[in-house]
Structure 1
Amino acid sequence: MQVEPELVPFGEYTPAAILGQDAILDDRIPRIEAGELPSRYAGAMLLHHFFSRLGVEEVLSSLPRPVARRYDAPAVILAATFGFALGSSSMEGTKHLHRVDAGALIGLASFPELRTLRPRLADIAEASDPFSLQRSFAKAMLNTDEVPPELYFCDDHFVTYTGARTLAKGYNTRKGRPERGRDDTFVIDENWRAVCFSSSEPKGLSVNLPPVIDQLIEICGNRPIMVGFDRGGSYPKVFSALRERGVDWVTYRRAPLVPPAVAPEIYLSEVDTKHLSYNLADEIVEVKGYGQARQLSLYQGDKVVFQILTSDTRSNSVNLLRALRARWRIENTFKYVEEHHGIHWLCSYEMEELPDSTVVDNPVRIKARSQYKAAEAALARAKELLGAEVASPSVSSSTANDHETVTRELKAFVATATDDLERAKSALMGIPARLSRNEIHPGLTREKPRLERRALQMVCRLLAYNAELDLARRMNAYLGDDDEYRGITRNLMHLGGTITFTPKVITVSLCQPDSPRLSRALGLLIEEINHQSPHLPGDGRPIVYVLKTKIN
């Protein structure tokens, strides 16, 4: 028999001075203190194990407390996170969630509506620093590791904008052409977890990498860091920036490859009980604009297939090779979070109008250079004709007088062409090669997305991704299905059950899955989680998970 839930006000922030005590208490969404609520999303309550280990309530306590009639800032962040965890690729998708069932996941009587969730997220984003919030989550996540990772991967993710606004352009490597859009630069660790990110106008990895590494250094503190990245960041200025920050790096050498100066050797390695051999040339080389770096050249037969540059001169060469090959983890992460967590979605149509300061080739100089090239070609042609006439008089110069006349005319042609070339050269030297677009076309503007709003949604997406990944790995420890465990975990978010609230404990009774092996794995997972006593953020009551007995 179901008991009507007893509801009490939720949230510490009460802007009674502005709206009046009675209005606030009547309007605020209450926390559930007692009651038994069936929920079609009861399986998503398992994510609270990850949130409890992170200490999410402590991280969210740093958020500003803007005036809110119904939901405080932590409730809004958690609602958005659970919305993404339940498969909503955008804020728009959360309107299809059952509000009472989804609200129970965060201990509230009702889930925020779209018209509440979207503007509240925007207000919080503009009043806070979403990137600092992500760093706080990442610090908490890495601090839970017995042995924190030392290897991280960094890459750009270009997101195309197809609307009518005049956004800055970047190079879309998937389509091989420049397009309007934005750059997201991500850092993940060797365990596939998203650590930090930055969002900006398209500039390329060589520009975006050093600032995001500053965030990583703040997160890791004094722990050693090695960063792997692809050829987009393989430039001496990037190597120097990482050296100044005390960060080791490993990347591919850009073409053209440099022939090794040492003979290759065979290196043996054992990976997952398999014995592998690598034909590698290991040497120290001079990188122009940086200095000395270690170079590994991998041979296939007698041919070098690729070369690796690294600042690490101590580690085993095979380990470095395998570390860089693992860079594909960040590419697979991009694919996964784009498909299941919507990192490519546009979060706001509002744009900031700015002067278009994008530096481009100066059209005046292009025209002047074309004139210089034409004058240069004219002078070369005049000298060629004069030389030919002096060497062997033309057929038309039948007499000596005619020959002298033609030669005099050609010399005058050369002198005129020389003067034209000097004038063209003088004009060219006074013209700058590149100018900003608004200098070329005064008043020209471009538009920039409100990146703060999108950044806060990205924090929620990555929090949902990391929580799901943690749950999936724990589940797979008992399931043993490396091919399907991520999909099984996503479906587990929609496993039905009953959430019972009492003053001392919250009990989540999950329906048994149809698959016997999944039921067994879920039972073992629940037993593991119950030993660690997770709780709702901001609520000290422990959560106890049970698996309902299946009735035939």
Structure 2
Amino acid sequence: MGYATTRSLERVASAMGALEAAPIVFEAAQDIPQGGVLLALPALLAVGLLRHSAELYALPKGFYGLSSVLVLLALMALARIDSLEQLRYAAAGEWGNLLGLDRVPEVRTLREKVKLLCGEQGRAARWNAVLAQEWIGQHAIEQSSGLAFYIDGHVRVYHGDLTKLPRHYVPRERFYLRATVDYWVNALDGQPFCYFNQAVDHGLVQAMRGDVLPWLAAHVSVSAEHAARMAADPRVPRFTVIFDREGYSPELFVDLQKERIAALTYHRYPEEADWRAEEFQEQAVKLVSGETVRMQLAERGTHVGSRPGLWVREVRKLGADGHQVSIVSTNFSGEAAPLAAALLARWSQENFFKYMREHFGLDALVQYGTEEIPAAVTVLNPAWRDLNRQVRQKQAECKSLQKLQQNVGLTQPLSEAAVAHYQQHQGQLQARIEQLQPVLEQLKQQRKETLRQIPVKDLPEPDRFTQLRTERKYFLDTIKMIAYRGETSMAATLREELTRSDDARALLRQIYRTEVDLVPDLEAKTLTVRLHHLTQAAHDTAVRYLCEELTATETIFPGTDLRLVYKLGST
């Protein structure tokens, strides 16, 4: 039955199909490594780890039930066990103690459980959508000034050889690599809501039009208070979307205005002339972190786009070096300072990507294999791409020759030989230009007659590709979102007692690695989790405060009637 198996009768019963799932039974244990992850359980449950799982997921009869598997996966994420395979290097019996079982499943068993949970395409997206709608509702309560969402793409590089994915520019690598793109929706503090994978990426504007904005329109509910504000003031938007210059599109702004959705981004084509220094006024700007800073801001109305275009608010921030950052928005309600703070704090989403890559294995390949791309998806026609490259080459050659014509002059002093050489050289250049012109026009005509976009199925055989499997990735990423949100809420609690707020997440990572003692009390119906002291006594006050706050939640361990009690101290 494997190492650390002490509940043999229950395992035999589950193998015979006589047991729905093994009961959760805790025994007293000491010095359980990485047991500190149990401190995150109240936060994980509060975020919604098990709230809707039974409605969408089910497992056949067996020793490991659905709640045990989901709790294990979430605790693994917090313990920085980045993949299912890495669980084989963890102490199976000790980890089993944390779940109220004799041991955690073997990697093969856990992989089979995850495969069963991910058998239906799109179910993970539905689970994430239900959770995201709740998270957005909570976010709306916290953001009394109105909902706002960061939207940005994250390039996930693929180094395998199962398919030849399109190449994407990877900013962190400064190189074009085969990759797939996920477009994430985050809160102003960087906390994630959901993401949309694009096997074929047509850019941020198309991703917003095709997936992100329809999803937000369907899942963002307007409170009665905000609906009253919208009715009283036609300038108040339903919500605001914030993105970088890649999403700058006056046509998109117009369409968003019709849906009462405001846009906030950098001006992609600001006028070259700087605004007068007299226009800027120093204003107090409250950042997302709660910190208040002073900024030099100015505001004007600006017309962007053509046919017919639209008027937007343009806010400029004057830096200490005199550089002016131009911001445009279709949100005409409220002051300019919150707009500047929201856009200039987009680093919170970038920090989220970086943290998830480093600590939660965001870019990890969780499943081998590919699947067909939907037939409706179009890609750039290779024939059009080749013709376009030839057109650009010929245009560049013509411009180079024309520039050479302009730069070539007569040498001094003038002579008949110099004039003759000049005329001969100019004639040769002109002849070459005239020779290129019909070739260029012919290539342009061929390009015009060639479809720019074609369905994936119509690609030539050498250029055809498939997409990486998405269901298991989406399922595990949803659990990682829950883990990140749970860690974020714990960090917020710790910061109340820390002199250096930036140390909160590092301290949590240390807590997750620390040993614990488990003391179940069946009469009092409690499960005491006693965390060992950390490396520095200076953190004891903050950790004790965290334990008190977690105990006050009166969280019941799933599958039992035991209330979790957290304490600090090894004795």
TM-score computed with the length of structure 2 as normaliser:
0.77
Contact kept in structure 2, 1:54 and 1:144, CA below 8 Å: no
Shift of 1:277: 4.0
Cα deviation for residue 545 of structure 1 reads 1.4
4+ long deviations beyond 6 Å = 4-10, 19-22, 260-263, 272-275, 367-374, 420-423
Question: C-alpha distance in 1, partners of 2:204/2:69?
Answer: 33
What is the one-letter code of the residue matched to 1:269? A
- Residue 111 of structure 1 pairs with residue 109 of structure 2: no
Question: Would the aligned equivalents of 2:527 and 2:564 in 1 still touch at CA under 8 Å?
Answer: yes
In structure 2, the partner of 1:207 is 206
- AA at the equivalent of 1:220: V
- Tell me which residue corresponds to 1:189: 187
1:547 maps to what in 2? 568
Conserved? CA contact 1:7–1:30, under 8 Å: no
Q: Structure 1 residue 242 and structure 2 residue 256: aligned?
A: yes
- Equivalent residues of 1:9, 1:25 under 8 A apart: no
Q: Aligned ranges for residues 331-350 of structure 1 at < 5 Å? A: 331-350=350-369
Q: Does 1:516 align with 2:537?
A: yes
**RMSD value, Cα:** 3.9
- Out of 483, 507, 513, which is 2:528 matched to? 507
In structure 2, stretches of 5+ residues that fail to align are: 224-237, 403-430
Relative to structure 1, the CA distance from residue 90 to residue 546 in structure 2 (aligned partners, 3 Å threshold; closer, same or farther) is same
Point out the structure with max Rg over C-alpha: 1
Deviation at 1:280, TM superposition (A): 1.7
Q: How many Å separate the matches in 1 of 2:47 and 2:22?
A: 25
Distance in 2 (alpha carbons) for counterparts of 1:99 and 1:492: 20
Q: 2:348 aligns to what?
A: 329
Distance 1:467 1:239 in 2: 35
Aligned partner of 2:133 in structure 1 is 139
Q: Secondary structure at the match of 2:294?
A: strand
Alignment of 1:11-22 (within 5 A): none
After TM superposition, list the pairs within 5 Å mapping 1:114-263 onto structure 2: 114-127=107-120, 129-143=123-137, 147-149=141-143, 150-164=147-161, 165-203=163-201, 204-210=203-209, 211-223=211-223, 224-255=238-269, 257=271, 259=273
SS in 2 for 1:62: helix
Cα offset, 1:301, TM superposition: 7.7
Count of aligned pairs between the two proteins:
503
Aligned-partner Cα distance in 2 for 1:427–1:220: 47
Contact 1:134 1:196 in 2 (8 A): yes
In the alignment, the residues of structure 2 paired with residue 83 and residue 41 of structure 1 have an alpha-carbon distance, to the nearest angstrom, of 10
SS of equivalent residue, structure 2 residue 311: strand
% of aligned pairs identical? Answer: 19
SS at match of 1:57: coil
Which one of the candidate residues 43, 50, 54 is aligned to 2:47? 54
| Higher mean C-alpha deviation, range 425-434 or range 526-535 | 425-434
Residue 7 of structure 1, CA deviation: 9.8
**Can you list the C-alpha shifts for 1:316-373, whole angstroms capped at 9, x where unaligned?**
1122111111111000111111000010111112112558952235258569969999
Q: Bigger CA drift: 195-204 or 137-146?
A: 137-146
SS of alignment partner, residue 118 of structure 2: helix
SS of residue paired to 1:345: coil
- Give the alignment of 1:10-89 within 5 angstroms: 23-25=16-18, 30-38=22-30, 39-89=32-82
Please tell me the residue identity of whatever aligns with 2:269: A
What's the CA shift string for 1:509-537, capped at 9, x where partnerless? Answer: 22222422212211122122222201223
Instruction: Say if 2:298 is the partner of 1:287.
Output: no
Secondary structure of the 2:24 match is strand
> Residue 338 of structure 2 aligns to a residue in which SS?
helix
Q: Choose the corresponding residue for 1:532, options 547, 553, 560.
A: 553
- Distance in 1 (CA, whole Å) between partners of 2:444 and 2:529 is 81
Contact conserved, 1:29 with 1:110, CA < 8 A, in 2? no
Amino acid at match of 1:505: T
Q: Which residue identity is paired with 1:251?
A: T
What secondary structure does 1:32 align onto?
coil
Structure 1 residue runs without a partner (length 5+) = 11-18, 381-412
**Structure 2 counterpart of 1:132, one-letter code:** R
Higher mean displacement: 478-487 or 103-112? 103-112
Matches within 5 A, 1:460-499: 460-499=479-518
Shift of 1:188: 1.7
**Quick one: distance in 1 between partners of 2:17 and 2:167?**
47
Amino acid at match of 2:279: P
- The alignment status of 1:101 with 2:94, answered yes or no, reads yes
CA apart distance, 1:207: 2.1
Of 274, 280, 300, the residue aligned with 1:265 is 280
* C-alpha distance in 2 between matches for 1:474 and 1:37: 28
1:130 is matched by which residue type in structure 2?
Answer: A
CA distance in 2, matches of 1:423, 1:236: 32
